[in-house]
């Protein structure tokens, strides 16, 4: 099992909708707003790297997501 932290930069007017959409992604354990360089922090689980890539792709495809950075637990 992989644990990852995904950091999102989002379009400000869509932040609430993006947070709601992220919380519906299977495997997301926590997601909340942050202030600073990133707007939303997500903690998620995936069985392997292939599934992690699929989940991060799903998050990236949410309208209003400008960029992401994924940090996988070693």
Dump pLDDT digits (tens) for 17-32: 999 999 999 999 999 9
Whether 45 contacts 3, CB under 8 Å: yes
What are the residues facing 28 on neighbouring strands? 44
On whether the pTM is more than 0.85, the answer is yes
Can you give the residue range of the structural domain that contains 53? 2-72
- The CATH number that applies at residue 46 is 3.30.70.920
Instruction: Give the residue among 49, 58, 56, 57 at the shortest CA–CA distance from 2.
Output: 49
- Dump pLDDT digits (tens) for 33-72: 999 999 999 999 999 999 999 999 999 999 999 999 999 9
Domains in the chain, number: 1
């Amino acid at each position: 099992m992989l644990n990852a932290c995904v950091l999102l930069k989002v379009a400000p007017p869509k932040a609430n909708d993006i947070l709601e959409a992220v919380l519906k992604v299977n495997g997301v354990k926590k997601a909340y707003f942050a202030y600073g360089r990133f707007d939303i922090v997500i903690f998620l689980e995936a069985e392997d790297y292939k599934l992690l890539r699929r989940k991060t792709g799903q998050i990236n495809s949410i309208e209003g997501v400008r960029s992401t950075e994924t940090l996988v637990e070693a």
